[in-house]
Structure 1
Amino acid sequence: MPDEISYESELASKCQGAAQCLSYNGPKHEAEAKHVLHEASHALDRHAVRVSEDFPGLLITNARGKSRYMTWRERLARWLLKGALEIRP
């Protein structure tokens, strides 16, 4: 039985690892599977973020280490939600 995945960032890493085993030059279904796994990995990475205060503003860092500053709309939403960043439908 495979290890249980407890974080979205772990699932994103597993998707990325599975996509590396596939080829775009293979059969059509293999190329589509690779593309879907890459897209899923990026979508999951957007969910796992860390917010830290930096000099010019609030810095958002995703699970892969890429970062950017919050927009004024995101800062307003964070203030209105009292710091709660996770909203799920």
Structure 2
Amino acid sequence: MSDPDLDRVRTELQHAREEDTGELNEPLNNLTQALERLDEEGNEPKPERLDSIHDELVRLQEDTGGEIREHLRRARDQVRAYRENADELTEE
């Protein structure tokens, strides 16, 4: 079952893919696959996996501009919020 927060990240990646001329096809596909693996695990994702996805989004964002950059920024913000929410739930 897919997590709604991760679905929002996937949606932003899809929008970035639609704007892309092909340069980011492989990295965007890799990020989408990483999100799918998180969903398959069924439990809360490991923090280091979320950090890895976040870091890759930051790297890609730094290398792009325009609408793609905005979609990547929103995806990055969603991952960060998801990570912070997961941390808060773990502390309770």
Common fold: TM-score over 0.5: no
Specify which structure has the bigger relative contact order, considering alpha-carbon pairs within 8 angstroms and separated by 6 or more residues. Answer: 2
Larger relative helix fraction: 2
Q: Larger C-alpha radius of gyration, 1 or 2?
A: 1
Larger relative strand fraction: 1
